């Protein structure tokens, strides 16, 4: 009987571990980005348009001008962040996560990070950038400021 209970317990552990999908972290990803950040993505919390500038994102937290017409071609996006205190230089790190392929990629043309500028369009900070979305589908865009998780934007990019 003890062997049966032990066997059942081991089977539960194996099945439980198999259910957790591991995320393959790229070698060059900043080390403050954690696998647990991807496990907490709420795919139902899609970015919405807010404000009078066609900003797509999470109202009064983060959003992008340019994401209202997402494309697989290189395009200009202007990132907006609310609720951050800027002291000196602030670095914005942007990590793309494709839902179906579970791939993690930089979407900024120039790498993982860019500097943040001052207030604009009612936001506390902003940054213009060139982005390239590598493939169609649902994308979670994880934002970090100075190495700390800030917000997640969910976009469906098809063309």
Taking residues 98-110, what's their average pLDDT? 95
> Cα 122 to the chain's mean position, in Å?
22
Please give the average per-residue pLDDT across 85-112, as a whole number: 92
Q: What is the mean pLDDT of residues 50-64?
A: 94
- 80 lies in a domain? yes
Which among 51, 49, 47 has a CA at the least distance from the CA of 152? 47
pLDDT at 155 over 60: yes
Is 31 inside a domain boundary? no
Q: Are 41 and 97 in contact (CB under 8 A)?
A: yes
Sign of CA dihedral 82, 83, 88, 90: negative
Q: How many domains does the chain have?
A: 1
Given this model, what pLDDT does residue 4 score?
Answer: 43
Residue range of the domain that includes 142: 37-157
Residue 16 confidence class, pLDDT cut points 50, 70, 90: very low
Q: What is the DSSP string of 40-94?
A: T--TTS--EEETTTTEEEETTTEEEESTTS--SS-EEEEEEE-S----S--EEEE
Work out the average pLDDT over 81-109.
Answer: 92
Is position 67 within any domain? yes
Q: In what order do the strands lie in the sheet with 55-58?
A: 48-50, 55-58, 62-65, 75-81, 125-131
| Structure confidence at residue 45 (pLDDT) | 97
pLDDT level of residue 120 (50, 70, 90 thresholds): very high
pLDDT of the residue at 159: 77
**CATH number of domain containing 92:** 2.60.40.3830
Residue 120 lies in a domain: yes
Question: pLDDT, tens digit, for every residue of 83-94?
Answer: 987 667 899 999
């Amino acid at each position: 009987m003890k062997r049966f209970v032990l066997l059942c317990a081991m089977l539960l552990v194996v099945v439980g571990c198999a259910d957790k999908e591991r995320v393959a972290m790229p070698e060059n990803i900043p080390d403050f980005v954690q696998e647990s950040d991807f496990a907490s993505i709420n795919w139902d919390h899609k970015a919405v348009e807010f404000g009078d500038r066609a900003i797509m994102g999470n109202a009064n937290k983060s959003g992008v001008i340019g994401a209202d017409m997402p494309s697989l071609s290189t395009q200009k996006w202007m990132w907006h962040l609310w609720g951050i205190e800027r002291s000196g230089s602030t670095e914005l790190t942007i990590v793309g996560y494709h839902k179906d392929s579970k791939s993690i990629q930089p979407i900024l043309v120039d790498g993982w990070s860019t500097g943040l500028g001052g207030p604009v369009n009612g936001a506390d900070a902003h940054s213009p950038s060139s982005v390239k979305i590598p493939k169609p589908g649902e994308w979670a865009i994880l934002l970090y400021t100075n190495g700390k998780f800030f917000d997640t934007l969910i976009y469906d990019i098809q063309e």
